[in-house]
Chains A and B, each alone.
Chain A
Amino acid sequence: MTAATHTEIYRPFRGALAPSRWAFWPLYRAQMAIATKRKLPLFILFFGPAMTGIVVSFLAYLSFQIEESGSGGPLLSGAGLAAQFAAQLLEVHKLIIQAMTAARYFAVLAMAWYGAGLICDDRRAGAHLLYFSRPLTRFDYMLAHFATAFTFGCFAVLGPGLLICTVATFNSPNFIFLTEKWPVIVGTIGYSLAFVTVLSALILAVSALSKRKSYALAAVFGVFMSTLALGGAMAALMRERQWRMLSLVSHFERVADWWIGSSRSIFRWDPWWSVAVLGGLTLVSFAIVAWRVRRMEVVA
């Protein structure tokens, strides 16, 4: 039968519906597609991390090239060569820490831009009505949104870190960077993932509590900058560096010092305190997201 006002007929679906074990995946892909539709913000937000990665990788490359050309002469003894390699490895190590520090702010910017609107925009548009009327669990919904923010965070933090490590590995003689400094690579990956996880959870929680993306964006930066300013101000006023524990950024730096290693650490508190603070923040953030998403599902 054809309705009178148009000529199309209804075609029944002849295939089969598969059980959705990865029901979050289509939603995640859709979120990524929406986020990457506009190319200009993508370019602006990831130009910084990309340039950081490229420049620092080039410096790492150069340091090994200079080393190789310098070691070609017959003047250096074996012990001298080893000492020079060690110095170069340390130099690359410092470069990685500097790159991670620089990329951190770009990462906050990019993740907040793409993550702040994820839940509040859904609620504002009412899109959750469509998602929750499908075989999509609350966990799938949260996972899809978390994965979206997480992916952008990885592009901004893990990407440059891995690029530098890869360049250093392939340019170091006999892959000495991989064989000798593998804890730095593991630490870089671990720190990047931890940073992105904490930040993704925080951004989603703020998004779940906000009415609009702009409010969520302001709130994320508010949390970062206000704690940074408060910790810095208190440390200066009280002449005690422990006050920096008030700052979220300082906790990230403490963990980076601990995991990637740094000889210039200014933090004196036990790194487990920072792990506890960041872990607690993540758990609270996930609890807030779960609570708000539950409300969205039921009050749909």
Chain B
Amino acid sequence: MTASAPQAPVISLRGVVKQYGAVRALDGVELSVAPGATALLGPNGAGKTTMIKLLLGLVKPDAGEARLLGFDPRKPADGVELRRKVGYMPESDCLPPQMNAVELVSTLARITGLSESDAITRAHESLDYVGLDEQRYRDIAQYSTGMKQRVKLAQALAHDPPLLLLDEPTNGLDPKGRRHMLELVADLGHAHGKSVLLCSHLLPDVERTCDHVVVLDRGRVAASGALLELTRSQSRSSRVRVAGDVDAFAGELAARGIACDRESERVLRIHAPGEDADELFGLAGSVGAHLEAVEEQRSSLDQVFLDVLKNSREARA
């Protein structure tokens, strides 16, 4: 993501500040989101909702510059136009109970600019895609939570936007429904070229669907980057199986200030964040040992998330 991303960013925020009275919801946010599936993480009050509203052009930043798909949400004309390019799936209940799914999705598609016949066709295609069958003709008041979540996703897809803002799409779903929803999100992000910004508190969902992560804390970006890079950079150790003189290898590591524990006769756990595997192979060779296996022990996203928040708060303190 960020500077190394080869493609133009879909979302770009430069020093964005948004203040509600005494509360600074966004505090100089610097962010660049490349096309693809990106997770927006953060504890309650981190500024995620404000950021989504800002991206939809519903609130204007007090300072800084925001660009979404090249549009400036501060300009009223751009604000309206960019909402044609964005599909938004809100977290909370938002479906009018007296309408059925076809009426709702086609109405929203019409508002977005589709002709009447296109809107009906797209409503059915979107509802087919999310797997809502004959129930689409029943009033939404009779829907289960899972069906409502599918309708919310279908309405976000109705106008085929290049960018999807999905706010907690698996909220309230049973395991089967959750798996289905995550498959849809992953399919949209990976197979259909949609850029997805996924807000979720469920880190396993993020790990299954997203390639990039942005962690917000108290209105600032605490961390951002590719999911693999983040979990690697936070990794604590590598587990290596050594053939040959294990003691000599352990001694060489200690001499270079690299801590290690012996797990078994031939297995060492090396605590060296970011240590290159090639260097380990070189060290082993220099003492007459060689490495049969190197297994990088990655941090879970949960651990990364907690560490990032902790570091961010310590830095501020």
Contacts and interface: CB of A to CB of B under 8 A. Distances in A.
Given A10-B192, A13-B160, A135 B98 contact: no
> In the complex, which range does the number of interface residues on chain B fall in?
35 or more
Contact of B179 (A2, A5, A15, A135): A5
> In the complex, which range does the number of interface residues on chain A fall in?
35 or more
B99 A3 contact: no
A213 to B, nearest CB: 11
Given A6-B180, A13-B118, A135-B80, A130 B192 contact: no
A122 interface: yes
B272 interface: no
A300 interface: yes
Contacts of A23: 111
A129 B159 contact: no
A38 to B, nearest CB: 9
B110 A26 contact: yes
A297 B190 CA distance: 32
A34 B111 CA distance: 17
Contacts of B157: 10
B155 interface: yes
Contacts of A298: 53, 58-59
B112 A17 contact: yes
A129 B91 CA distance: 10
A11 interface: yes
B113 to A, nearest CB: 4
A134 interface: yes
A202 B155 CA distance: 32
Interface string A275-299: 0000000000000000000000110
A8 interface: yes
A136 interface: yes
A25 B58 CA distance: 21
Given A10-B192, A34-B96, A130-B90, A26 B111 contact: yes
B212 interface: no
Contacts of A34: 96, 98-99
Q: Is the interface of B mostly helix, strand, loop or mixed?
A: helix
B92 A30 contact: no
Contacts of B187: 1-3, 10
Interface in A50-88: none
B94 A30 contact: no
Nearest to B117: A15
A204 B210 CA distance: 43
A10 B188 contact: yes
Most buried by A among B53, B111, B176, B180: B111
A33 interface: yes
A18 B119 CA distance: 12
A242 B262 CA distance: 100
Contacts of A20: 111-113
B131 A130 contact: no
B84 interface: yes
B159 A13 contact: yes
A17 B129 contact: no
Contacts of B99: 30, 33-34
Interface in B154-189: 155, 157, 159-160, 176, 179-180, 183-184, 186-188
Interface in A22-53: 23, 25-27, 29-30, 33-34, 37
Nearest to A23: B111
Contacts of A11: 125, 129
A128 B95 CA distance: 9
Contacts of A130: 88, 90, 94-95, 104, 108, 155
A134 B157 CA distance: 12
A291 to B, nearest CB: 16
B90 A133 contact: yes
B90 to A, nearest CB: 4
A125 interface: yes
A136 B93 contact: no
A15 B115 contact: yes
A130 B108 CA distance: 8
B127 to A, nearest CB: 9
A294 to B, nearest CB: 10
B118 A3 contact: no
A17 B114 contact: yes
B191 interface: yes
B17 to A, nearest CB: 16
A126 B92 contact: yes
A173 B59 CA distance: 63
A10 B154 CA distance: 11
Given A5-B180, A17-B159, A135 B111 contact: yes
B62 interface: no
B121 to A, nearest CB: 9
A3 B180 contact: yes
B113 A125 contact: no
9 closest A-B pairs by CB: A26-B110, A13-B160, A17-B113, A126-B94, A1-B191, A133-B88, A3-B183, A6-B131, A30-B107
7 contacts: A1-B191, A5-B183, A13-B114, A27-B111, A34-B96, A37-B98, A129-B92
